[in-house]
Amino acid sequence: MASFVRIAFRNIPFKGSSRGIWAEINGQSIRTITSRLEDLPPKPKPWNYNERSYTYFHYLFDKTTPRFDENTKLIVVEGPVAAGKSRCAKEIAKAFGMLYLPEANLDMEYINSYGYDIRQLDPMLPPDCRSFDIVDFLKNPKHKLTTRMQIQLFMIKYSQYIDALAHILSTGQGVVLDRCVYSDFVFVEAMYNQRYLSKAAYKKYYEYRDNTIHELLRPHLVVYLDVPVPRVLENINKRNITCEKRSQAMNPQYLEVLEKNYKQNYLKEISTHAELLVYDWTVEGDMEVVVEDIEAIDFEKYDDHDTNLKDWRQEFEEDWACLRYKYADQKDYLMAGFNVPDYDCPELLVDAMDIKACDAVMDEAPGNRYAPGFNINMGDKSWLFKYKLPKKNTLPLRERKKM
């Protein structure tokens, strides 16, 4: 069983059973997050934010906080490569009846709404316009397109995080993320250290980050699985993914810088805003222990003067309504924060004629000619009487850019 490096609450007796909605902390009984889902109070039907807009008119009869309960939380599971984050995140989501969102990846960018993978078009595209994903990076980490790939990954994580917030505020159901946008910079630091990114690319990434990330609410809880670098390398060999095992990028120096930035920068900063559980996961631990530790946390112990969880303390119902509208219906506005000029970063510049050639090929790809819902040749119904586009938070980044 894994030992723990820093856990805020441990060996706290529960009243009644070993696991429950009431816990005794410092001699006082408080209501906590719970895996006994039957003890949670009933709440209004979830708002279908993927299909319906939430406007100021809807606020008059559909309030946000009545859907909140003890398990209305945003939890993020973090850790190095091959640490076992996905299994841990899934188990946490299952225990607390939360929505699990897998780690954001470039499939979300390259596979359109009709399931067509636009990477198939690479042979017809100019070199600077072709796809470049994690597999390509592992084969050639110093490629020019590494910069574009990392910024795309940040955008996808940002997009996914907005969706997570929209889900929480619209349904009251908690969300568990496998990594998140807040920790993305640790990979940039490791890439820059190993000279996979230029100084201009490094600076441009942080320009994007500084221009966007302040719009989000930080998580309630971060669970970090600590695995030493030698063990990470063993795990990579054990799971036997060819591109990882033979990668020039996955070297001890890269992984050590990654670990250093996780611990000295990310965890240090995020712990001033969220609860933090850190486990020694050298040997995969007991998930029941993790669940019990989460149930022992008092998320209500902070007051208005504390920075921890301040993002989730809103004074009025109107404040929650504005946040709900922002994340569920104003995603395009939030993504517009990425409209930053790239003229000072050569790796992101593409010749105008190459862009024109790329657009011509992309527009003819299955499902790319029109917005989703308007492509009759892909099985969509006639667009004659359609007067609005689908909710934009359901669309891939590439298609939102076209709209």
Cβ–Cβ < 8 Å for 174, 73 = yes
What is the enclosing helix (H) or strand (E) of 175? strand 175-178
Asked if residue 250 has pLDDT above 50, the reply is yes
Q: How far is CA 395 from the centre of its chain?
A: 16
Which residue, 182, 214, 220, 223, is CA-closest to 301?
220
Query: Average pLDDT over the chain, rounded to whole?
Result: 87
Which residue, 166, 97, 205, 213, is CA-closest to 327?
166
Predicted local confidence at residue 377, as pLDDT = 84
The CA distance from 208 to 98, in Å, is: 30
Segment 209-219, tens digit of pLDDT: 999 999 999 99
Stretch 175-190: mean pLDDT: 97
239, with CB counted inside 10 A (0-12, 13-18, 19+), is exposed
DSSP code for 258: H
Stretch 225-251: mean pLDDT: 90
To 10 degrees, what angle do helices 287-295 and 85-96 make? 50
**CB-side neighbour CA atoms (13 Å) of 386:** 13
107, with CB counted inside 10 A (0-12, 13-18, 19+), is middle
Predicted local confidence at residue 359, as pLDDT = 93
Pairing of strands 175-178, 99-101: parallel
Tell me, what amino acid is at 217? L
Q: Of the ranges 44-53, 171-180, 239-248, which is most confident?
A: 171-180
Predicted local confidence at residue 290, as pLDDT = 96
Predicted local confidence at residue 15, as pLDDT = 30
Segment 34-48, tens digit of pLDDT: 999 988 889 999 999
Angle at 40 between CA 34 and CA 41, to 5 degrees: 155
Cβ–Cβ < 8 Å for 173, 167 = yes
Which pair of tokens denotes residue 271? 């712990």
Which pair of tokens denotes residue 230? 């030698």
Rg (CA), the chain: 22
Per-residue pLDDT band for 391 (boundaries 50, 70, 90) equals: low
The CA distance from 20 to 14, in Å, is: 7
Asked if residue 26 has pLDDT above 90, the reply is no
Which pair of tokens denotes residue 111? 């596979």
Cβ–Cβ < 8 Å for 92, 71 = no
Q: Which residue has the higher pLDDT, 240 or 166?
A: 166
3-state DSSP assignment of residue 397: helix
Asked if residue 17 has pLDDT above 50, the reply is no
Stretch 364-375: mean pLDDT: 85
Cβ–Cβ < 8 Å for 223, 92 = yes
Cβ–Cβ < 8 Å for 175, 84 = no
Tell me, what amino acid is at 170? S
Asked if residue 8 has pLDDT above 90, the reply is no
User: Percent of the chain, pLDDT > 90?
Assistant: 71
Which residue, 280, 279, 275, is CA-closest to 298?
275
Per-residue pLDDT band for 135 (boundaries 50, 70, 90) equals: very high
Burial 319-336 (b: 16+ CB within 10 A, else e): ebbbbbbbbbbbbeebbe
Q: How far is CA 1 from the centre of its chain?
A: 28
Segment 300-347, tens digit of pLDDT: 898 888 999 999 999 899 999 999 999 999 999 999 999 988 899 999
What is the enclosing helix (H) or strand (E) of 128? none
3-state DSSP assignment of residue 308: coil
| List of E strands, 271-329 | 275-280
Predicted local confidence at residue 243, as pLDDT = 84
Predicted local confidence at residue 156, as pLDDT = 96
Alpha helix ranges (H) inside 172-262: 185-193, 199-212, 229-239, 242-245, 252-261
The CA distance from 95 to 180, in Å, is: 20
Predicted local confidence at residue 274, as pLDDT = 96
The CA distance from 228 to 2, in Å, is: 13
Asked if residue 19 has pLDDT above 90, the reply is no
205, with CB counted inside 10 A (0-12, 13-18, 19+), is buried
What is the enclosing helix (H) or strand (E) of 78? strand 74-78
Per-residue pLDDT band for 371 (boundaries 50, 70, 90) equals: confident
